Structure 1
Amino acid sequence: MFEKIEMMRMARALGHHASQRQIAVARNIANADTPGFKAEDVASFTDSYRAASEPLRTTDPRHLAAPDWSPADRRTLAETGVSPNGNSVSLEEEMLKGAEVKRSHDLSLGIYSSALDLMRTSIGRRA
């Protein structure tokens, strides 16, 4: 039922995007001293959500339906300077990305909570 409401779908997708970006940030921080490691980041939520909202065309009715939203294979290399050992991780940038991830996760929870409050109000229950 809830997956058919666009606001709920978007809140879920934003939360999933925030978790995938947190994984990328944590991986970058963990490999900050690894020689030759290239920092990764996830494409912006706006770009990936728009790309996912365009339905994929199937050529056979037996094909599986595409998932509602998936950030898989949407990682891009971060454009940062490279240290002498070939590592491109900047801890300062990763900490800023971590703060952005927390903000977007909090936003997704706020949207989800507001949508639930609207639904409760519409059926006559108080939030």
Structure 2
Amino acid sequence: MFEKLEIMQIAQSMARHAALRQSAVTQNIANADTPGYKAKDVTSFADTYQTEAHTPLRTSRAGHIGATGGFEARVTTQTDSSATSPNGNSVSLEDEMVKGADIKRQHDLALTIYKTSLGLLRTSIGRG
């Protein structure tokens, strides 16, 4: 029942987005020496949320038209050619480490939102 609350779904989507982005970063680090490899990243959660939030239909149940069950982010190849090494690899380990720290912050934020919302729910029903 409580997992259908929008705040819980957003927190879950944020955590999934952080996991997808972490996967892209680890793949970039693993291929840092691969000739011709292009770095990958995920569109930001805010951009994904705004794109999904501007749909013409709002749904409140899974059976409604247009109900997708969350926000969808995709892994994209970065096209910044200024950071390409002579062998064609575009991975910068320094950038990937900064992204890793940002991903940890994003995941921690998602967990904090989830825990706080759960605490509010428990308090509202008298079990907090």
Q: Work out whether the TM-score is over 0.5.
A: yes
Aligned to 2:27: 27
Aligned-residue sequence identity (percent) comes to 52
Pairing of 1:20-99 with structure 2 (within 5 A): 20-55=20-55, 65-72=67-74, 75-77=76-78, 79=80, 81-99=83-101
Pair 1:77–1:122, CA change in 2 (3 A)? same
Task: Find the counterpart in structure 2 of residue 8 from structure 1.
Answer: 8
Q: Deviations over 1:64-93 (max 9, x none)?
A: 843422213x52516350000000000000
Q: Is the 8 A contact 1:40 1:78 kept in 2?
A: no
- Structure 2 letter corresponding to 1:111: I
Residue 104 of structure 1 is matched in structure 2 by: 106
Unaligned runs of 5+ residues in structure 1 are 58-62
TM-score (norm 2): 0.84
Within the candidate set 111, 116, 119, 1:117 is matched to 119
Per-residue Cα deviation, 1:19-50 (whole angstroms, up to 9, x for no partner):
00000000000000000000011011100112
8 A contact 1:41–1:75 mirrored in 2: yes
Counterpart-to-counterpart distance in 2, 1:65 and 1:6: 13
Indicate conservation of the 8 Å contact 2:40/2:78, yes or no.
yes
1:119 counterpart letter in structure 2: L
| C-alpha distance in structure 2 between counterparts of 1:34 and 1:70, whole Å | 29
3-state SS, counterpart of residue 92 of structure 1: helix
Structure 2 residues not aligned, in runs of 5+: 58-64
| Length, aligned pairs only | 120
* Offset at residue 52 of structure 1 (A): 2.2
Distance 1:85 1:4 in 2: 49
* Aligned counterparts of 2:79 and 2:124: Cα–Cα separation in 1: 44
Q: 1:77 to 1:64 in 2, by over 3 A?
A: same
Contact 2:38 2:77 in 1 (8 A): no
